[in-house]
Amino acid sequence: MDAAFTDWEARYRQGDTPWEKGAAHPALADYIARHPLSGRVLAVGCGSGHDVRALSSAGASVTGIDIAPSAIRRAESFAKAGDETYELADLFSLPAHLRCRFDWVWEHTCFCALPPAMRPAYVSGLLDALEPGGLLLAVFYLDPGNDPGPPFGVSVEELDALFGKHFDLLREWTPKVTYPGRENRELMRVLKRRTASSAP
């Protein structure tokens, strides 16, 4: 990720982290209470690791990655909730040991933080991380209500165009529970990475 867009490490050092809410995303907690994720999960842009700990406490083996060293240090300062680890890593240049390894990717804050021009590269990063047939569970921010961002909003049509070539949409819904102020402004999706034989 090009640090020229946003210096995330500086934001953490300055305490300028409004995306850090002190707890896992309510929609994630609600989902995994009914549908716990199993296997190996990658949490991209994990920040302080609240989502990571929610996932691992529900039984998944979770790796949280972030490009900000201060975020990783903060995440590692919390007591472990289960089988979780944190790594300083970039989704756009994953180290070999994180490639084609994961059954799931959890997306909450990474996609909306990226300049829209980087979104195709984001999808490529997911393809690098997921095993064929792997799943993406994501909360997409349709209407962040800010200008110019980040966070950057996205339309349903753009999501379909970005992911449609490599993923099948299994389910989508508007989260019933979310952070205050985000009601009816997010879209939650489960997408499945196609195998080579099932690609169109």
* Model pLDDT for residues 157-181, shown as the tens digit of each residue: 999 999 999 999 999 999 999 999 8
Among 116, 104, 2, residue whose Cα is nearest residue 44: 104
Average pLDDT across the chain, whole number: 93
Q: Which sequence spans correspond to the domains of the chain?
A: 37-198
Is 49 strand, coil or helix?
Answer: coil
Please classify residue 172 by burial: count the beta carbons closer than 10 Å to its beta carbon, then call 0-12 exposed, 13-18 middle and 19+ buried.
Answer: middle
* % the chain with pLDDT above 90: 82
Verdict on whether the full-model pTM lies above 0.85: yes
Q: Which segments of the chain have a pLDDT < 70?
A: 1-5, 197-200
- Bond before 115 cis per omega within 30 degrees: no
CATH superfamily of 37-198: Vaccinia Virus protein VP39 (3.40.50.150)
Query: Helix, strand, or coil here: 84?
Result: strand
Residue 145 is predicted with a pLDDT of: 82
Q: What is the pLDDT of residue 3?
A: 36
